[in-house]
Amino acid sequence: MMLHWILNPGLAINELILGQRVPKVTLIEKDSKKNLAEKCFIPCPHCDTIHSSLKWTPQNKTAFKNWFGLYCDNCGQTIPCLTNLTSYILLGLTLPLWIWFKKGWKQKWLLTQKEKFSKPLTLTTPEYNWVTQGLSWGFFMYVFTEILFPLIDSEKYNYYKLGFGLIYWSLAGLGFGYVMKKLLFRQTNKQSQDKTQQAT
Ligand SMILES: [Zn+2]
């Protein structure tokens, strides 16, 4: 998953625009009864606090906008994250455009994080609707790759390609949503099945 995060160029969009980040270090508990999200812990290298990965979820409004890293609510510093290779190149090329603002942006961002994390966080596994999640991801990728990128390259739109892209990204989105569900919630299903079996 970490290697995929670095190598897949599409994920630069998740990283640079949505601010979705993957920490450099994740600890995974060896307990098969929990699902992956519950098993993952993220250590802060500054204060050695071991955080539940469930602190950074959509329900806590902390899954995105993590452009500067993951905020540690114990020491107020940021937990270092991986950088996608494409993001790295894009950031390098555009360095003269943003370097002047980085400090100010980070200060502002840190204040927002402090406020977000001052509220009680929900540490339960979020509900995951793979169809909606997958399709919205597919739609997002469609808009970027088929509509915005050709616009930037001043390429002419090809209606055949636009139509094909819609089908392609819907299917890719559904595939993505399904794989993510399987990957993240495999153990939960097993556990709930066990519970049902026990109950009957
Ligand atoms: Zn810390």
Question: Per-residue pLDDT tens for 168-182?
Answer: 999 999 999 998 888
User: Around ion ligand 1, which residues have CB less than 5 A away?
Assistant: 44, 46-47, 72, 74-75
CB 55 within 8 A of CB 62: yes
CB 79 within 8 A of CB 45: yes
Q: Which pLDDT band holds residue 144 (cuts at 50, 70, 90)? A: confident
Give the Å distance between the CA of 109 and the centre of ligand 1.
Answer: 16
Query: Token digits for 136?
Result: 């919205």
Give the Å distance between the CA of 195 and the centre of ligand 1.
Answer: 37
Backbone angles phi, psi at 167, to 5 degrees: -70, -45
Give the Å distance between the CA of 44 and the centre of ligand 1.
Answer: 5
> What pTM, to 2 d.p., does this model score?
0.72
Please check the confidence at residue 150 and state whether its pLDDT lies above 60.
yes
Segment of 7-21, 33-47, 81-95, 117-131 carrying the highest mean pLDDT: 81-95
Please check the confidence at residue 30 and state whether its pLDDT lies above 90.
no
Give the Å distance between the CA of 59 and the centre of ligand 1.
Answer: 22
Please check the confidence at residue 196 and state whether its pLDDT lies above 50.
no
Give the Å distance between the CA of 136 and the centre of ligand 1.
Answer: 33
Question: Per-residue pLDDT tens for 71-116?
Answer: 999 999 999 999 999 999 999 999 999 999 999 999 999 999 999 9
Give the Å distance between the CA of 141 and the centre of ligand 1.
Answer: 34
Give the Å distance between the CA of 53 and the centre of ligand 1.
Answer: 14
